[in-house]
Amino acid sequence: MAERVGIYVCHCGSNIAGTVDVEEVARWAGQHIKDVVVSKDYKFMCSSLGQAMIEEDIKTKGLTRVVVAACSPHLHEKTFRRACANAGLNPYLCQMTNIREHVSWVCTDKAAGTEKAKALVSASAERVKYQRPLEPMYVDVNPATLVVGGGIAGLQAALELADAGHPVYLVEREPSIGGHMAQFDKTFPTLDCSACILTPKMSEAGQHENITLLTYSELEEVSGSVGGFTVKIRKKARYVDYDKCTGCGICSEKCPRKVIDTVFEAGIGERKAIYSPFPQAVPRIPVIDVDSCLYFTRGKCQVCSKVCPTNAIDYEQKDELIEVKVGNIILATGWKLFDCARMPQYGYGRLANVFTNLEFERLCNAAGPTNGKIVLRDGKTEPKSVAIIHCVGSRDVNYNEGCSAVCCMAALKLGHLVLEKTNAEVYSFYIDMRTNQKMYEEFYQRLLAEGMHFVRGKVAEVTDAARNPDEQGKLIVQCEDTLLGRQRRIPVDMVVLMSAMEPQADAKELGLKCGISCSMAGWYTERHPKLDPVATMTDGVFVAGVCQGAKDIPASVAQGAAAAARVQGMITKGRVMIEPIVATIDEEGCSGCRICNNLCPYNAIEFDEEKKVSRVIAALCKGCGTCVAACPAGVITGAHFNNQQIFAEIEGALWDAAAAKTEEETATQSVSA
Amino acid sequence: MGAHSEGNHGSAFLREVIADTPGGERIVHCLQCGSCGGSCPSGADMQYTPRTIFAMINANQRDAVLSANTMWYCVSCYLCMTRCPQNIPITDVMYALKRLAIAEGKARGTDAPALAKTFTDILEKYGRSFELGLASRYYLLNRPMAMMKMGPMGLSMFTRGRMALLPTKIKNLDQLQAIIKKARELGEAS
Amino acid sequence: MKYAYYPGCSMECNAAAYEMSTQVVARALGFKLVEVDDWNCCGATEFFSQDELTASAVVARNLALVAPELNQLVAPCAACYLNLAKTDRLMQDNATINAKVNEALAAGGLKYKAGRVRVRHLLDVIYQDFGEERIREKVVRSLEGLRVAPYYGCQVVRPIKGDDSTEYPLHMDELFKWLGAEVVDYPVKAHCCGGHMTQISEPQAFELIRRLLQSAVDYEADMILCMCPMCQLNLDAYQSRVNGFFGTNFRMPIVYFTQMLGVALGFELKELGFGKELVSAEPALRAKLAQRASV
């Protein structure tokens, strides 16, 4: 018996209808595609009225298949499958055709767009006839969650979940949690001390009964899927016994080897070869940096081991691979600082008194290398003038096209600290002053009142090439004061570069491990930029904080909490639906060659030793199709993507070629007749 | 609607400048950040900085732009262009503005067009540049007073064998002139 | 190694020292420069200010004349280098201009396939194609003790991006470190020499020249090394006028990098064209290098 197909073409307001003649597509489909019982267009198919129309047609016209030509299935596949289910039709008998992203948004020629839309609708209609009813599967959600990144976003997420009573594994690459926020002195716009608001959260996380802290650790491998991930984590050797160490710090104190701390102190301070990055570190267990440790590099020293009162130093310690099982993953991996040496015109690395903002944060910090005294690179001279340069590596297609979002406010904050701590004149060189959150504009006004100088213009260069005696021995900041329309040269003692926030160097790699992608700029891609900002296209994987895009502390905290709330929703629900789009092996034809077993990227194929055949574990299968293509006997079928369906789809897309051929044949026949 | 509609928008002068500059379509991305004006070695002498010129182009101030001294102070050092955060070919825009200003006789307060004209005349006549000829003709016609100051320097150059008294001519001058003639015809036709 | 060679008008007379030393150095390093037959002037910055298409055709004639068996063209002058390279690129990127330029060339019985010839500056050839090892081997007279300020100017480092920085190039710095010289790390090494402004607006040009000379003096350089005839002319020939204009007392020798490379390779000053500069380099050379070798 022939199927009864219904076709529904959406205008999406003018989103589709602007470039595709949707009425024509619906009319054409109704007349030309075989087995089509009803074909309609509608302003917004996803609206409740649109859905009701489909449901009504299924019931009254006895539809057995439905095609919705609208937006991406990412957006509304669930909507229309649900509508079909409501009317008693198996949801997998509904097929979506993307005529928005694939047609109207990428076409300018309406006639051509309309033709393409027809071909795509035809393809779906032919395919849908061969689709089979499928029953969704359900798996239980493991209530434990993995949080990657112990900065403020990850901390917030971990605490929210732990406080709600759920177990959390918090993985952090550095020896301590805290992230970049631990490096800052004050936070805008309220100027509260960064450490004062952060460290209570850090110690809470360190002591929380539901949080397993895995510092100095990195994510190695992720397998499984939403509800049941298995995660391998590498705990790097600290060379300090975690259980014996009391964190007394004598080892660091006595260690004879000092090195420049390029991480926590941003290169302007020192640490020892055995160290804890900062006094409030959580955990307080130090690590040995084997690249600088005298024992590891030269075989001599062992001072730490000798002075340790609890015998906690263990030079033989090895990296440890541990495996944890979680239901959901939150990535909160943060950012890295733009390398200012890439813009030689600003002199960073060549001119001593050009600093990055992160170096300057450490300089301002009371716990930093200068005890909070703002001094030049010589370590003693207080600057009489400081220039703060915005947008270094941001808003620049040569480096990072986007705005780093926090620098304007951070520049104002640093300017305030200079004014508060020194007698220096402070200049801010900005392109546009962006102070668009609560109390931010007020903070800008405060700095105007405090006497910070504002020059609107992107700095062209910072140079030591003096042109007159006033400039001698100074750093000269050259720019166009765009509000005056004149070139200016302002001699200063010190320059601070507000460096761009960039994605972590390994963000893409980590994303791949978890099955999520990055934007062109390298930030993790959220499921929807407005309506689903912390979920991703991979169920069970969430993002929070700067790894999703440059943002400040309040926004990072909000995202951390939001991600935790989403995970709690999953946990509360208890089980999640898994697409029944999986592979099946026809045991009759299986030769037991095991090619599929080895190829499966999800370890979802087991081998039955007794029957000598392979079998797919449906709960693990992701429906990727690798085994289907590889099976030499051709006995593996991918549900929802079988050959019949794919060939029908191709035939449908090529309807005009087929039509031409038929015409030709008819013509030849009539001639021969 | 969509990605291909650029070029129908913006001021008439903006479209004209874009059409006359290779890579000119980037002009619309100007942030008015002033890194060009700040970088320019002649920035202090310009009536309008390059950034201001871009604002004026947007505002369709054709006459004011073409009679500005800005492009005539451009030394083709390309600093603005490599620093521009939006990859606008600023130096090439300056060349386009020079051509437009010369074509319409709007260039004011500069001897640059005269120098350019003398230079190309010599090129056309000999196929090579001829410094003495260039200097004498350009200075005599345009800046006779400056000629006096050039004297001692010219003499020093001459005694060190760095100033030729006679021009060098290329062998196949006819070929070069035919190419130039044809190129001019093609340019005028479009 | 064999390259097509486009000397440019200045090399014939004004920059004779550059031409002499280039030929000497090329022979010593063992590469052959085959002069483009009957080349014409590149039009400098002047032609492009008037008529882009004609200027491109004038430049393209030279590209078309490059012998068919050669695909690399070396120019020692910054302006020539840029005009040749930029025209080739414009023809590659812009089909309309490419067609018209070729139509114009056809009037002279020529044609040029955009991209056929790779245009390079002389410094790049010496730096990249010979490289540290081979050049160090050839040094017979180290430049040790001599403080040189490499001056790159503009049009070789910008706007066409090569392997060197557009802001703070290093290739000539490295070359002279290989030769044993002390290289001055001064901030204006890729800033403008004034270009043709010496002909149009002296106060402006003199100020640009002054900035360069001042910075080299501030960094205690013995001499500035040039890689373009226009830069050399502006810094050298105009130096006394600059002194007169500002009341300064610069005595900064301005020589071509090939001249000093020639010195390191053991050649006599005369065959390298020394003595043609208006501010003599001899005192500095004698003071710094005399004690170790006969200069």
Which of C186, C215, C219 to substitute to test the interface with A, most A CBs within 10 Å? C215
Q: Is the pLDDT of residue A504 over 70?
A: yes
Per-domain boundaries in chain A: 5-134+647-672, 145-331+507-573, 336-502, 583-638
What is the least distance, in Å, from the CA of A466 to any CA of chain C?
8
| Cβ contact A479–B34 (<8 Å) | yes
| Cβ contact B35–A479 (<8 Å) | yes
> What pLDDT, in 10s, does the model give residues B86-109?
999 999 999 999 999 999 988 877
Write the secondary structure of C192-253 as one string of H (helix), E (strand) and C (coil): CCCCCHHHHCHHHHHHHHHHHHHHHHHCCCCEEEECCHHHHHHHHHCHHHHHHHHCCCCCCC
Q: What value does the mean pLDDT take over residues A180-198? A: 95
Query: Cα(A222)–Cα(A425) distance, rounded to whole angstroms?
Result: 52
Query: What pLDDT does A1 receive?
Result: 67
3-state SS assignment for residue C100: helix
Q: Is the pLDDT of residue A662 over 80?
A: no
Q: Is the pLDDT of residue B145 over 80?
A: no
What is the least distance, in Å, from the CA of B125 to any CA of chain C?
11
Is A145-331+507-573's fold the same as A336-502's? yes
A396 near C CB under 8 A: no
Q: How far is CA C164 from the centre of its chain?
A: 15
Query: Cα(B141)–Cα(C179) distance, rounded to whole angstroms?
Result: 48
> What pLDDT, in 10s, does the model give residues A43-96?
999 999 999 999 999 999 999 999 999 999 988 999 999 999 999 999 999 999
> What pLDDT, in 10s, does the model give residues B112-141?
888 888 889 999 999 998 887 777 777 777
Q: What value does the mean pLDDT take over residues A253-282? A: 95
Q: What value does the mean pLDDT take over residues A639-655? A: 94
Query: What pLDDT does A670 receive?
Result: 61
ipTM for the assembly? 0.92
Measured on CA atoms in the order A406, A408, A413, A415, is the torsion positive or negative?
Answer: positive
Read off the tokens for A191. Answer: 């100027």
Q: Which CATH class is domain A5-134+647-672?
A: alpha beta
pLDDT band, residue B1 (cuts 50/70/90): very low
Instruction: Give CATH for domain A145-331+507-573.
Output: 3.50.50.60
Residue C277 with chain B: CB contacts under 8 Å: 160
Per mean pLDDT, which range of A89-103, B14-28, B118-132, C200-214 is the poorest?
B118-132
Per-domain boundaries in chain B: 12-103, 112-189
Write the secondary structure of C240-272 as one string of H (helix), E (strand) and C (coil): HHHHHHHCCCCCCCEEEHHHHHHHHCCCCCHHH
Q: Is the pLDDT of residue B61 over 90?
A: yes
Residue A465 with chain C: CB contacts under 8 Å: 186-188, 211, 214-215, 218
Query: What pLDDT does B143 receive?
Result: 73
Query: Cα(C218)–Cα(C252) distance, rounded to whole angstroms?
Result: 12
Closest CA relative to residue A236, chosen from A170, A171, A307, A293: A171
Q: Among C16, C90, C195, select the one facing B162 at the smallest CB separation.
A: C16
Query: What pLDDT does A186 receive?
Result: 96
Read off the tokens for A606. Answer: 């087991």
CATH 3.40.1390.30 fits A336-502, yes or no: no
End-to-end Cα spacing for chain C: 30
B64 near A CB under 8 A: no
What integer best gives the mean pLDDT of chain B? 88
Query: Cα(A202)–Cα(A570) distance, rounded to whole angstroms?
Result: 26
What is the least distance, in Å, from the CA of C133 to any CA of chain B?
32
Number of Cβ pairs < 8 A linking chain A and chain B? 83
Give the residue carrying structure tokens 């991305």.
Answer: B29
Ramachandran area for residue A468 (φ above 0: left; ψ -120 to 50: alpha; else beta) = beta
Q: Is the pLDDT of residue B5 over 60?
A: no
Q: Is A69 exposed, middle or buried (0-12, 13-18, 19+ CB in 10 A)?
A: buried
Q: Which CATH class is domain A583-638?
A: alpha beta
Query: What pLDDT does A485 receive?
Result: 96
Domains of chain C: 2-121 (1.20.1050.140), 141-294 (3.40.50.11810)
What is the least distance, in Å, from the CA of B156 to any CA of chain A?
29
| Cβ contact A350–C211 (<8 Å) | no
